[in-house]
Amino acid sequence: MRYYSTNGKAPLATLEKAVVKGLAEDKGLYMPERIKPLPQEFFDNIQDMSLQEIAYQVADCFFGEDVDAESLRKIVYDTLSFDIPLVKVEKVKELKGEKELPIYSLELFHGPTLAFKDVGARFMARLLSYFSPLRGSQKGSVNVLVATSGDTGSAVANGFLGVEGIHVYVLYPKGKVSPIQECQFTTLGQNITAIEVDGVFDDCQALVKNAFMDEELNAKMQLTSANSINVARFLPQSFYYFWAYAQLKKTLSNSPLKGENLGKEASPLRGGLEGSVVCCVPSGNFGNICSALFGKRMGLPISRFIAANNANDIFYNYLQTGHYEPKPSKQTIANAMDVGDPSNFARILDLYGKSHEAICQDISGATYTDQQIAETMKRCLAETGYQLDPHGACGYQALRDGLQEDEVGFFLETAHPAKFKQTVDDICGGDIAIPERLQAFMKGTKQSVSMSKNFSDFKAFLMKQ
């Protein structure tokens, strides 16, 4: 399979090049030349398959031509070493009488850093290692540089931890990252080096960009980025949409008294799920929802999507007006979605042949202020006992607001609420328990290299490695 650039001015790339380079020469985003549909048989039996098996079948459509079956299977199974359960958000009392709302949460926070980015980061690390020319060498033959303001660093560092042939340098701004975030990439050791930069996030990003442009450095070592626009981080996210559908199908078909799951009113669904499943994705850079749209192209029977935004409403406005107007990002309590110019918008436009009308047919939007997010978190907890995080709250509320009578909906719980403990406790008045995985990081010893924000210092450091 070859990959073209959304800007249309770069040569077609192999998978290897697309993964190692990340961005095309014309600064466009890579897209697979073809999207292979999965056979009907796959969807007929999907409810009986495991997460890993479903993911392998989907991965085969994208990567099967370029990665041998045994290696691809291993990459998929290693990546998905944790569960991604679909959980019913319990009964909503006194809403439309005593009806239960058919709303489910796809919990994507059971991985090492408790957020959905674990899936893409783990897959990319393993695929990069597969392509690494000196596979198995002790010293990293590929060096990944990543600048982080917090969450990307932890997902990437943990995704690449212990992966052969790769060394990761995480650059983060001193004193600007929360202690919970910091410990997730500074306590790992092995092939992960944390670099504490005396500056702000933009300084970290500038150091990384300068390193990619420095000829001497690139002649000495192979440098690459683990940016979220990389096809190897982005395409694997489609796996769990198929898995969500499989779980939904299983749940609904296993229950002869479907009223138990759906409420009597929802009985039309007994005939099948087709045409009735709505998927809601809390969105920032739009990589996650974009992989879901790829899934739909492959035949996944999801009838429509909702992109839930916080106060950064650029995509929402695009849907209403047909005009895309990037804005500076606004800081919100759902901060992983604080994006003012979502990079994967280019992919969505490309996928729909730049047709606003076609995009609106599949996707609707929603936008919520911090106050609305907080109210949703409090109300959902009181009514159902389900603890949302600020990002998932946007997804849940958008389903509550947009789900129609004969539809079943699931939203993505993109992070564990304990990752945002302070915010969540302040809003919900509780003391949310920190999962053991997260506690384990906090017990580790911080190891990091202090660095000035001058490129010459950073370069000298890399040259010595």
Ligand X SMILES: *Cc1c(COP(=O)(O)O)cnc(C)c1O
- Residues in touch with ligand X (CB under 6 A): 115, 117, 151, 282-288, 336-337, 391, 414-415
State in angstroms the smallest separation of the CB of 310 from ligand X.
9
Residue 149 vs 285, nearer CB to ligand X:
285
Structure-block tokens of residue 342: 């979502």
CA 171, 114, 428, 340 torsion-angle sign: positive
Residue 100 vs 413, nearer CB to ligand X:
413
Give 299's DSSP letter. T
Q: Are 368 and 309 in contact (CB under 8 A)?
A: yes
User: How far apart, in Å, are the Cα atoms of 103 and each of 90, 116, 134, 424?
Assistant: 8, 19, 48, 21
Residues with Cβ < 8 Å from 214, sequence gap 6 or more? 455, 459
10 Å CB burial of residue 3 (0-12, 13-18, 19+) is buried
Give 399's DSSP letter. H
Give 354's DSSP letter. T
Residue 141 vs 397, nearer CB to ligand X:
397
Neighbours of 461 (CB within 10 A): 14
The span from the first CA to the last CA of the chain, in angstroms, equals: 35
Strand, coil or helix: 301: coil
Residue 193 vs 283, nearer CB to ligand X:
283
Strand, coil or helix: 412: strand
C-alpha torsion angle, residues 269, 274, 275, 277 (rounded to 10): 80
State in angstroms the smallest separation of the CB of 76 from ligand X.
20
Strand, coil or helix: 373: helix
Residue 22 vs 284, nearer CB to ligand X:
284
User: Which residue's structure tokens are 């539809």?
Assistant: 407
State in angstroms the smallest separation of the CB of 171 from ligand X.
18
Nearest-CA neighbor of 241 among 48, 64, 86? 86
Residue 393 vs 428, nearer CB to ligand X:
393
State in angstroms the smallest separation of the CB of 284 from ligand X.
4
Residue 132 vs 283, nearer CB to ligand X:
283
Residue 79 vs 143, nearer CB to ligand X:
79
Residue 131 vs 368, nearer CB to ligand X:
368
| Residue type for position 236 | P
User: How far apart, in Å, are the Cα atoms of 371 and each of 84, 307, 390, 399?
Assistant: 29, 19, 11, 18
State in angstroms the smallest separation of the CB of 337 from ligand X.
5
State in angstroms the smallest separation of the CB of 412 from ligand X.
8
State in angstroms the smallest separation of the CB of 111 from ligand X.
12
Residue 32 vs 287, nearer CB to ligand X:
287
State in angstroms the smallest separation of the CB of 46 from ligand X.
24
Strand, coil or helix: 375: helix
Residue 186 vs 288, nearer CB to ligand X:
288
State in angstroms the smallest separation of the CB of 314 from ligand X.
12
Residue 129 vs 285, nearer CB to ligand X:
285
Q: Are 90 and 385 in contact (CB under 8 A)?
A: yes
Give 46's DSSP letter. G
State in angstroms the smallest separation of the CB of 281 from ligand X.
7
Strand, coil or helix: 92: coil
State in angstroms the smallest separation of the CB of 415 from ligand X.
3
d(CA 151, CA 419): 10
Q: Are 145 and 171 in contact (CB under 8 A)?
A: yes
Three-point CA angle 321, 398, 335, nearest 5°:
85
DSSP H helices, 94-164, are 117-131, 151-160
State in angstroms the smallest separation of the CB of 204 from ligand X.
18
